[in-house]
Amino acid sequence: MEECKKCPNGKKAIGESSYRNKNCWLVDNLGYAPYKRCQYCEFQFRHCLFLQYQVISIILLALSFTLFLVFEKRLSSLAVVVVFGLIIVYGYFFNNSTEKIIKSNFTLKKTKDALKDLTDSLEDQVRDQTRDIQEKSRYLQELLNIKSDFLRVVNHQLNTPISVVMGSL
């Protein structure tokens, strides 16, 4: 990650506009994120959804042209236009869905991290409250023991003179 003067730890965080994914070969070599969705991505280049789209597009293109050549023995300009048109339409929808998937994954990750932090915080609070309750319980138990000892002593002290008076009578 690059240095960031405004960031608390000095690093640019994922999701910021100038974040660069050092795991991505393309972003690392270009020195900038080529697409807006790249600021939300932590994948390595070989796991890039856009790269996968490009590989699928090339395979579809090669398959389509191969089928045209096998069945028609030539490649007509209409076939080329239709195949490229389909790939462009496919690319448009894939591009939009890829960006939504990457942003959703980023939002999900941020939410999971926030929930984990909240869970850890709540666990710490519960631990502190439990410790506090246990200390108060020990203190109350100690007070109960003192009260019991006091009542036992008072009972003994009151019974002694009464026993003497009862014995005299």
Q: Which residues of 57-76 are buried (b: 16+ CB within 10 A; e: fewer)?
A: beeeeeebeeebeeeeeeee
What pLDDT, on a 0 to 100 scale, did the predictor assign at position 14? 64
How confident is the model at residue 99, as a pLDDT? 79
Question: What is the predicted pLDDT for the residue at 149?
Answer: 93
pLDDT at 33: 63
Pairwise pLDDT comparison (138 vs 38), residue with the higher score: 138
Tell me how far apart the alpha carbons of residues 166 and 153 are, in angstroms, rounded to a whole number: 20
DSSP string, 109-133: HHHHHHHHHHHHHHHHHHHHHHHHH
Angle at 71 between CA 66 and CA 73, to 5 degrees: 80
* Domain residue limits, the chain: 1-47, 48-161
pTM metric for this prediction: 0.51
